[in-house]
Amino acid sequence: MEGRTPLEFGQTARHLARNPLGIIALFIVLIYGTAGLVFGLAGAQFDTSQKWALILFLVLFPTLVFFGFVWLVAKHSHRLYAPSDFRNEASFVELNKKVSVIEVRQQAAEVDPRGDSDSAFTALEGLVKVDQIEVAKNLAKAFLKVKRYEVSLRMFDRLIRELGDARRVSLMQYRAYSLVGLARYEEALQELDRLRLIGGEKGYDFWPRLAVAYCYLKLGQKAEFESALRSAVGLQGSSEYGEMVAAIYPEMAGRFADILIKNGREPEEGRASL
Protein backbone atom coordinates (compact mmCIF):
# COMPACT_ATOMS: atom_id res chain seq x y z
CA MET A 1 0.00 0.00 0.00
CA GLU A 2 3.01 2.25 -0.56
CA GLY A 3 2.06 5.85 -1.33
CA ARG A 4 -1.54 5.50 -0.16
CA THR A 5 -3.02 7.72 2.53
CA PRO A 6 -5.00 6.22 5.43
CA LEU A 7 -8.19 7.51 3.79
CA GLU A 8 -7.37 5.76 0.50
CA PHE A 9 -6.48 2.56 2.35
CA GLY A 10 -9.79 2.71 4.22
CA GLN A 11 -11.70 3.12 0.95
CA THR A 12 -9.85 0.15 -0.53
CA ALA A 13 -10.58 -1.92 2.56
CA ARG A 14 -14.31 -1.12 2.34
CA HIS A 15 -14.31 -2.10 -1.33
CA LEU A 16 -12.58 -5.41 -0.60
CA ALA A 17 -14.95 -6.18 2.27
CA ARG A 18 -17.95 -6.35 -0.05
CA ASN A 19 -17.60 -10.08 -0.67
CA PRO A 20 -15.79 -13.08 0.88
CA LEU A 21 -13.00 -13.05 -1.72
CA GLY A 22 -12.21 -9.45 -0.87
CA ILE A 23 -12.25 -10.20 2.85
CA ILE A 24 -9.72 -13.00 2.30
CA ALA A 25 -7.49 -10.64 0.29
CA LEU A 26 -7.79 -7.93 2.95
CA PHE A 27 -6.93 -10.43 5.66
CA ILE A 28 -3.78 -11.53 3.81
CA VAL A 29 -2.68 -7.91 3.21
CA LEU A 30 -3.16 -6.98 6.87
CA ILE A 31 -1.31 -10.05 8.14
CA TYR A 32 1.63 -9.52 5.79
CA GLY A 33 1.64 -5.78 6.43
CA THR A 34 1.71 -6.29 10.18
CA ALA A 35 4.43 -8.96 9.96
CA GLY A 36 6.52 -6.79 7.65
CA LEU A 37 6.13 -3.77 9.94
CA VAL A 38 7.14 -5.77 13.00
CA PHE A 39 10.14 -7.25 11.20
CA GLY A 40 11.23 -3.86 9.84
CA LEU A 41 10.93 -1.92 13.09
CA ALA A 42 12.03 -4.51 15.63
CA GLY A 43 13.95 -7.07 13.57
CA ALA A 44 17.30 -5.94 14.94
CA GLN A 45 16.13 -6.70 18.47
CA PHE A 46 15.12 -10.32 17.68
CA ASP A 47 17.42 -13.16 18.47
CA THR A 48 18.07 -15.90 15.89
CA SER A 49 15.22 -18.20 17.00
CA GLN A 50 12.70 -15.36 16.88
CA LYS A 51 13.84 -14.33 13.40
CA TRP A 52 13.49 -17.91 12.15
CA ALA A 53 10.02 -18.16 13.65
CA LEU A 54 8.93 -15.02 11.80
CA ILE A 55 10.54 -16.16 8.54
CA LEU A 56 8.84 -19.54 8.77
CA PHE A 57 5.53 -17.79 9.32
CA LEU A 58 6.04 -15.60 6.25
CA VAL A 59 6.89 -18.70 4.18
CA LEU A 60 4.19 -21.07 5.49
CA PHE A 61 1.32 -18.61 5.77
CA PRO A 62 0.73 -18.19 2.01
CA THR A 63 0.92 -21.98 1.58
CA LEU A 64 -1.82 -22.49 4.16
CA VAL A 65 -3.88 -19.71 2.58
CA PHE A 66 -3.47 -21.34 -0.84
CA PHE A 67 -4.73 -24.75 0.32
CA GLY A 68 -7.56 -23.10 2.24
CA PHE A 69 -8.54 -21.19 -0.88
CA VAL A 70 -8.45 -24.36 -3.01
CA TRP A 71 -10.73 -26.08 -0.49
CA LEU A 72 -13.18 -23.18 -0.56
CA VAL A 73 -13.28 -23.14 -4.35
CA ALA A 74 -13.76 -26.93 -4.52
CA LYS A 75 -16.37 -27.25 -1.76
CA HIS A 76 -18.05 -23.88 -1.31
CA SER A 77 -17.37 -21.84 -4.44
CA HIS A 78 -20.88 -20.33 -4.44
CA ARG A 79 -20.16 -18.74 -1.05
CA LEU A 80 -17.21 -16.73 -2.34
CA TYR A 81 -19.50 -14.17 -3.93
CA ALA A 82 -21.80 -11.49 -2.59
CA PRO A 83 -25.20 -10.48 -4.03
CA SER A 84 -23.58 -7.34 -5.46
CA ASP A 85 -21.40 -9.53 -7.73
CA PHE A 86 -24.51 -10.54 -9.68
CA ARG A 87 -26.68 -8.50 -12.02
CA ASN A 88 -29.58 -8.95 -9.64
CA GLU A 89 -30.07 -10.51 -6.21
CA ALA A 90 -32.52 -13.07 -7.59
CA SER A 91 -29.67 -14.72 -9.52
CA PHE A 92 -27.60 -14.93 -6.34
CA VAL A 93 -30.48 -16.49 -4.39
CA GLU A 94 -31.21 -18.97 -7.20
CA LEU A 95 -27.56 -20.05 -7.43
CA ASN A 96 -27.33 -20.67 -3.70
CA LYS A 97 -30.60 -22.59 -3.73
CA LYS A 98 -29.46 -24.87 -6.57
CA VAL A 99 -26.10 -25.55 -4.94
CA SER A 100 -27.77 -26.28 -1.59
CA VAL A 101 -30.07 -28.80 -3.28
CA ILE A 102 -27.11 -30.54 -4.92
CA GLU A 103 -25.23 -30.69 -1.62
CA VAL A 104 -28.09 -32.22 0.39
CA ARG A 105 -28.94 -34.71 -2.37
CA GLN A 106 -25.30 -35.81 -2.43
CA GLN A 107 -25.32 -36.17 1.35
CA ALA A 108 -28.45 -38.32 1.14
CA ALA A 109 -26.93 -40.49 -1.60
CA GLU A 110 -23.98 -41.30 0.67
CA VAL A 111 -26.17 -42.60 3.52
CA ASP A 112 -25.85 -46.32 4.19
CA PRO A 113 -29.23 -47.67 5.41
CA ARG A 114 -27.38 -50.45 7.24
CA GLY A 115 -25.12 -47.99 9.01
CA ASP A 116 -25.52 -45.15 11.49
CA SER A 117 -28.98 -43.59 11.36
CA ASP A 118 -27.85 -40.23 12.78
CA SER A 119 -26.34 -39.21 9.45
CA ALA A 120 -29.56 -40.29 7.75
CA PHE A 121 -31.67 -37.96 9.90
CA THR A 122 -29.22 -35.12 9.27
CA ALA A 123 -29.61 -35.72 5.53
CA LEU A 124 -33.38 -35.97 5.93
CA GLU A 125 -33.59 -32.58 7.64
CA GLY A 126 -31.49 -31.05 4.89
CA LEU A 127 -33.80 -32.48 2.23
CA VAL A 128 -36.88 -31.18 4.03
CA LYS A 129 -35.41 -27.66 4.21
CA VAL A 130 -34.91 -27.52 0.43
CA ASP A 131 -38.27 -29.23 -0.26
CA GLN A 132 -36.76 -32.39 -1.75
CA ILE A 133 -39.56 -34.55 -0.39
CA GLU A 134 -39.36 -37.24 -3.08
CA VAL A 135 -35.66 -37.77 -2.38
CA ALA A 136 -36.40 -37.79 1.35
CA LYS A 137 -39.09 -40.43 0.78
CA ASN A 138 -36.61 -42.61 -1.11
CA LEU A 139 -34.13 -42.24 1.74
CA ALA A 140 -36.74 -43.46 4.24
CA LYS A 141 -37.74 -46.30 1.88
CA ALA A 142 -34.13 -47.46 1.83
CA PHE A 143 -34.36 -48.18 5.57
CA LEU A 144 -37.73 -49.87 5.08
CA LYS A 145 -36.24 -52.19 2.44
CA VAL A 146 -33.48 -53.37 4.79
CA LYS A 147 -36.13 -53.94 7.50
CA ARG A 148 -35.01 -51.18 9.82
CA TYR A 149 -38.64 -50.41 10.53
CA GLU A 150 -38.15 -48.26 13.62
CA VAL A 151 -35.91 -45.87 11.69
CA SER A 152 -38.13 -45.77 8.61
CA LEU A 153 -41.20 -45.10 10.78
CA ARG A 154 -39.51 -42.13 12.45
CA MET A 155 -38.50 -40.78 9.05
CA PHE A 156 -41.99 -41.08 7.57
CA ASP A 157 -43.46 -39.50 10.70
CA ARG A 158 -41.11 -36.55 10.27
CA LEU A 159 -42.05 -36.12 6.62
CA ILE A 160 -45.78 -36.49 7.18
CA ARG A 161 -45.73 -33.78 9.87
CA GLU A 162 -44.19 -31.45 7.30
CA LEU A 163 -46.78 -31.96 4.57
CA GLY A 164 -50.43 -31.26 3.92
CA ASP A 165 -52.93 -33.96 2.99
CA ALA A 166 -52.34 -33.70 -0.76
CA ARG A 167 -48.63 -34.53 -0.48
CA ARG A 168 -48.99 -36.80 2.53
CA VAL A 169 -50.80 -39.53 0.59
CA SER A 170 -47.66 -40.85 -1.11
CA LEU A 171 -46.03 -41.38 2.30
CA MET A 172 -48.86 -42.86 4.33
CA GLN A 173 -48.67 -46.34 2.83
CA TYR A 174 -44.95 -46.57 3.61
CA ARG A 175 -45.59 -45.47 7.16
CA ALA A 176 -48.16 -48.27 7.38
CA TYR A 177 -45.63 -50.78 5.99
CA SER A 178 -43.20 -49.74 8.73
CA LEU A 179 -45.91 -50.38 11.32
CA VAL A 180 -46.57 -53.80 9.77
CA GLY A 181 -42.86 -54.60 10.05
CA LEU A 182 -43.03 -53.69 13.74
CA ALA A 183 -46.09 -55.99 14.17
CA ARG A 184 -48.27 -53.00 15.07
CA TYR A 185 -51.08 -54.27 12.88
CA GLU A 186 -54.01 -52.33 14.33
CA GLU A 187 -52.14 -49.03 13.93
CA ALA A 188 -51.23 -50.02 10.37
CA LEU A 189 -54.91 -50.68 9.60
CA GLN A 190 -55.82 -47.25 10.93
CA GLU A 191 -53.18 -45.60 8.77
CA LEU A 192 -54.29 -47.52 5.66
CA ASP A 193 -57.90 -46.56 6.33
CA ARG A 194 -56.85 -42.89 6.49
CA LEU A 195 -55.00 -43.43 3.21
CA ARG A 196 -58.19 -44.76 1.61
CA LEU A 197 -60.20 -41.78 2.83
CA ILE A 198 -57.65 -39.14 1.81
CA GLY A 199 -56.17 -40.69 -1.32
CA GLY A 200 -59.24 -42.36 -2.77
CA GLU A 201 -58.96 -45.25 -5.20
CA LYS A 202 -55.81 -43.82 -6.82
CA GLY A 203 -53.86 -43.88 -3.57
CA TYR A 204 -55.45 -47.05 -2.25
CA ASP A 205 -54.13 -49.43 -4.89
CA PHE A 206 -52.86 -53.02 -4.87
CA TRP A 207 -50.11 -52.86 -2.24
CA PRO A 208 -52.06 -50.99 0.46
CA ARG A 209 -54.97 -53.42 0.01
CA LEU A 210 -52.58 -56.34 0.29
CA ALA A 211 -51.11 -54.87 3.47
CA VAL A 212 -54.64 -54.60 4.90
CA ALA A 213 -55.21 -58.28 4.13
CA TYR A 214 -51.93 -59.21 5.82
CA CYS A 215 -52.83 -57.23 8.95
CA TYR A 216 -56.18 -59.02 9.21
CA LEU A 217 -54.42 -62.36 8.72
CA LYS A 218 -52.00 -61.63 11.58
CA LEU A 219 -54.87 -60.44 13.79
CA GLY A 220 -56.75 -63.70 13.12
CA GLN A 221 -59.72 -62.00 11.45
CA LYS A 222 -60.31 -64.51 8.65
CA ALA A 223 -63.42 -63.01 7.07
CA GLU A 224 -61.84 -59.56 6.85
CA PHE A 225 -58.64 -61.14 5.51
CA GLU A 226 -60.52 -62.90 2.69
CA SER A 227 -62.43 -59.76 1.78
CA ALA A 228 -59.31 -57.56 1.71
CA LEU A 229 -57.29 -60.13 -0.25
CA ARG A 230 -60.02 -60.51 -2.86
CA SER A 231 -60.19 -56.73 -3.14
CA ALA A 232 -56.45 -56.64 -3.92
CA VAL A 233 -56.55 -59.59 -6.33
CA GLY A 234 -59.51 -58.07 -8.14
CA LEU A 235 -57.47 -55.10 -9.33
CA GLN A 236 -56.22 -55.14 -12.88
CA GLY A 237 -52.58 -56.23 -13.15
CA SER A 238 -52.49 -58.00 -9.77
CA SER A 239 -51.36 -61.26 -11.41
CA GLU A 240 -48.04 -59.58 -12.25
CA TYR A 241 -47.08 -59.40 -8.60
CA GLY A 242 -47.10 -63.11 -7.75
CA GLU A 243 -43.36 -63.43 -7.09
CA MET A 244 -43.20 -60.25 -5.02
CA VAL A 245 -46.20 -61.29 -2.93
CA ALA A 246 -44.47 -64.62 -2.21
CA ALA A 247 -41.28 -62.79 -1.20
CA ILE A 248 -42.90 -60.12 0.99
CA TYR A 249 -45.94 -61.95 2.38
CA PRO A 250 -45.15 -65.69 2.13
CA GLU A 251 -47.90 -66.55 4.63
CA MET A 252 -50.63 -65.58 2.21
CA ALA A 253 -48.92 -66.28 -1.11
CA GLY A 254 -50.74 -69.58 -1.52
CA ARG A 255 -54.16 -68.08 -0.94
CA PHE A 256 -53.27 -65.20 -3.29
CA ALA A 257 -52.45 -67.68 -6.07
CA ASP A 258 -55.63 -69.72 -5.38
CA ILE A 259 -57.87 -66.66 -5.78
CA LEU A 260 -56.10 -65.69 -8.99
CA ILE A 261 -56.67 -69.17 -10.44
CA LYS A 262 -60.33 -69.16 -9.40
CA ASN A 263 -60.69 -65.84 -11.19
CA GLY A 264 -59.33 -67.43 -14.34
CA ARG A 265 -55.83 -65.94 -14.09
CA GLU A 266 -52.40 -67.39 -13.47
CA PRO A 267 -49.71 -65.68 -11.36
CA GLU A 268 -47.13 -64.03 -13.59
CA GLU A 269 -43.53 -63.05 -12.96
CA GLY A 270 -43.40 -59.92 -10.86
CA ARG A 271 -42.10 -56.82 -12.62
CA ALA A 272 -43.25 -53.96 -10.44
CA SER A 273 -42.05 -52.79 -7.07
CA LEU A 274 -43.57 -51.21 -4.00
User: For the packed helices 253-262 and 222-233, what is the interaxial angle rounded to 10 degrees?
Assistant: 60
The count of residues in the chain is: 274
Query: Is the pLDDT confidence value at 9 over 90?
Result: no
pLDDT tens, position by position, 228-266: 999 999 988 888 888 999 999 999 999 999 998 887 665
The distance of Cα 33 from the centroid of its chain, to the nearest Å, equals 45
pLDDT tens, position by position, 143-158: 999 999 999 999 999 9
Residues 6 or more apart in contact with residue 26 via CB below 8 angstroms: 13, 16, 17
> For 41-48, what is the mean pLDDT?
71
CA dihedral 101, 168, 219, 228 (to 10 degrees): -120
Q: Which H or E run includes 262?
A: helix 253-262
Query: Is the pLDDT confidence value at 91 over 70?
Result: no
Distance from C-alpha of 99 to C-alpha of 105, rounded to nearest angstrom: 10
pLDDT at 1: 45
pLDDT at 75: 65
pLDDT at 251: 93
> For 7-21, what is the mean pLDDT?
55
pLDDT at 103: 77
Query: Is the pLDDT confidence value at 208 over 60?
Result: yes
Kindly list the distances between the CA atom of residue 67 and the CA atoms of 59, 61, 63, 72, 113, in Å, as whole numbers in the listed order: 14, 10, 6, 9, 34
> For 208-212, what is the mean pLDDT?
96
Higher pLDDT, 99 or 181: 181
